[in-house]
Structure 1
């Protein structure tokens, strides 16, 4: 029956046949590779795996790789800062997920509920069991809005003055609040702990500060940064420069101040400090909420004690030898580096090479992730500090030999963030054809 169906499919165009084959394959019980999550990491690595086998002359059949994700839309989340700064429309940051999954990948529009690594299978919310030869987990993390009492109510109120760039539904509210504020106190927060792109909370602050200054409101609006962290940034080189910038611009710095609740009617925010709590009045409040691992991963056999998928920080393979066919990358992983889209561009080729090598030879390759990540720190309209670093919080800059020390904000970096990166993301990265600092050249690894 499958042979007859295959002949019928191949009578049409190869792309159409591949799509129908992958669609039919989505009903299978087992796949060569199952990728859980269709975000930046999931789509990128699924395509890179398919491309890697093809380049080695060992092409997988359409439908051998399945992506499991029930989401209707895929979001370019780094773009939400641009929306909050009035530089993009928020509808430019999302596309229908099914439009981004190519013909050679099977799409299972369900969410995984449980992992059963001992039987090499996952179970979806509908109860469907899906087997795999290799599993790649790329589910991202969760944003814990409800852990700050009063936050969800304030975000839903158009006139509250409270907003956040950390969701599609609220990122445009950020710009409305910034653009309409005429006087008062603008506060920008960052939580203690792990979050997506740890520089984002102050990116939007710098853009707001510059907007206030350029429109003649700089003298009537004060800007303060309240962060649960002990410094402006984790990498000392960039942190020192950002702190000097903060002082030069007259922005207040309140460190180890963690937002724990807010009263939007009274326009009062409560922060926890080492000495107790402190209440602060605000006119505008931008909140970066606490984040953490997804609940269905936290209690699973593949998670570490903190709830992240436990993987080797170099190979991206699971740390438990019994689960050697489990891999992870991106925000859901235990990798000790910043959780950014740029990190995905360095992680995906390593994971791909090692997975391919295991399938091909039974052993991991010499591909090793060094912790590279990047945080394009907007410091105002037309300027950006491009922070790039690796494990150990050591700078690893791509352009310093050409443009000079990247601690200096530059307009060239600004336009990379504003125009080039979104274009590359949609056109090349999600298709597995972009490798970050390597551009279009897939990294090779010594054997």
Structure 2
């Protein structure tokens, strides 16, 4: 029930206090990336072997990541809505690595699966018995002309909850707006947490209502997608909410450029024509895609994601059976959220454990595409969307309530429970999404 998390800032390597810093050139398990997927699955793998009485040594699992900090990205919407300071959602990566994991504070540059090795950006070669890729995705800020310049300008009225550096600017722009056009955008194609672009819109709309500014502010939603949401049940409910609240909706309108000097945003329609829109405040969800170092590697599919079986999370190339992937970097055809990771991690763990011991994945551990998007719709209101492959609802509370209706209880899950569960349990490999603290049995 959490949206995806990934660090956007990288820096030069530094030593850590809690974890051992790897100096070996060979590990039993190598995990690429220390985001929500990497930390969660690395810990689950360690716990799974320990529970089976075949414990891995403290230097058998290595995580490669040069980022100095780890971010809880779902919290950035709360920052943009003025509910939390952004410092609540950043912690030093070193503080999150337990002693039974080894951190190699370097980024992977290339994969050589034929020799079971990766090469880091410094040229170091690291060999593995099994590899887990959890590298996240790439945010392509520069794909929208003028966006980076606008985000760096405190007077531009342009902001985004998709970066730690700018999520507090969202709140400043919302709170500072007294009249004019508040425009919210979503790109066509794959992004992480596809509901997030409208979450902040709903919160802004409600803030304008509560502070008596709504009569002077026009709120509009420009999305490159054909509907409000990919799952019909929730899309219909969200569109009805949009109509009730008088928010203009423009579908299949993809943002291509921002002219911050003239406060104009340009959108492209399916027929190739463009539309210029005047804005006072513009919230942008940027375009996203696969990481270049994965896209250029032999483990990628034709698009650039790590090619894995949608049920087992094992690589689809039979020559790379010792490679698995999780989260945003994978080819799994589901929404890219941290909630998806909570369902993927135990499946990957069980299949990796079985592969190490038998040479084959488990006969039972299969991922059904479960993911979740907690859709903030107002202060004190949230619609909890949960679904599997094919957009089929799979709701935790569905037998008790209609989850397409916003509720205060769901709101407090997002605001209070999920952040605590993330820091205290998920990253430690002890949180299993809708099953809570109970690891699924296969």
TM normalised by structure 2 equals 0.95
Whether the 8 Å contact between 1:385 and 1:410 is mirrored in structure 2 is: yes
- In the alignment, does 2:334 pair up with 1:337? yes
In structure 1, what is the equivalent of residue 189 of structure 2? 193
CA contact (8 A) 2:370 2:394 kept: yes
In structure 1, what is the Cα distance between the partners aligned to 2:109 and 2:239? 44
Which residue is 2:7 aligned to?
A: none
- 1:63 CA displacement: 1.1
User: Post-superposition, which runs of at least 4 consecutive aligned residues in structure 1 deviate over 4 A?
Assistant: 19-22
The residue that corresponds to 1:395 in the other structure is 393
CA distance in 1, matches of 2:19, 2:36: 21
Q: Deviation digits for residues 153-209 of structure 1, max 9, x if unmatched?
A: 100000100000000000000000000100000000000000010000000000000
Match of 1:375 among 359, 373, 376: 373
Determine which structure has the larger helix proportion and give its number. Answer: 1
Structure 1 gaps, min length 5: 1-18
Instruction: Give the drift of 1:362.
Output: 1.9
Which of the numbers 419, 438, 443 marks the counterpart of 2:435? 438
2:263 is equivalent to residue 231 of structure 1: no
User: How big is the alpha-carbon RMSD for the aligned residues of Structure 1 and Structure 2?
Assistant: 1.0
* Whole-angstrom distance in 2 between the partners of 1:397 and 1:93: 27
Indicate the residue corresponding to 2:9 in structure 1.
none
Instruction: Indicate the residue corresponding to 2:319 in structure 1.
Output: 322
Q: Is the 8 A contact 2:19 2:94 kept in 1?
A: no
Q: Find the aligned partners of 1:197 and 1:35 in 2 and give their Cα distance.
A: 23
SS in structure 2 at match of 1:219: helix
CA distance in 2, matches of 1:80, 1:63: 34
2:19 and 2:97 in contact (8 A); partners too: no
Query: Residue 278 of structure 1 aligns to a residue in which SS?
Result: strand
Does the 8 Å CA contact 1:21/1:62 hold for their aligned counterparts? Answer: no
Which residue pairs with 1:165 in the alignment?
161
Secondary structure of 1:415's partner? helix
For residue 145 of structure 1, what is the aligned residue in structure 2? 141
For structure 2, list consecutive stretches of 5 or more residues without a partner in the other structure: 1-15
Is 1:422 equivalent to 2:434 in the alignment?
no
- 1:174 is aligned to 170
Output the CA distance in 2 between the equivalents of 1:85 and 1:156: 20
Q: 2:297 aligns to what? A: 300
Matches within 5 A, 1:209-358: 209-275=205-271, 276-358=273-355
**Alpha-carbon distance, 1:23 to partner:** 2.2
State how far apart, in whole Å, the 2-side matches of 1:283 and 1:331 are.
Answer: 33
8 A Cα contact 1:35 1:135, kept in partner: yes
SS in 1 for 2:383: strand
Q: Distance in 2 between matches of 1:149 and 1:439?
A: 43
The total of aligned residue pairs comes to 425
TM (normalized to structure 1)?
A: 0.94
Q: Distance in 1 between matches of 2:180 and 2:19?
A: 56
Contact 2:222 2:250 in 1 (8 A): yes
Q: Distance in 1 between matches of 2:431 and 2:18?
A: 26
Larger-gyration structure (1/2): 1
Show the 5 A alignment for 1:59-208.
Answer: 59-208=55-204
Cα 1:213–1:50 shift into 2, 3 Å: same
The answer to whether the 8 A contact 1:388-1:396 is kept is yes
Give the Cα separation in 2 of the matches to 1:324 and 1:21.
Answer: 32
3-state DSSP of counterpart to 2:229: coil
Which structure is higher in RCO with an 8 Å CA cutoff and minimum separation 6? 2
Inter-partner Cα distance in structure 2 for 1:85 and 1:147 = 26
What secondary structure does 1:274 align onto? coil
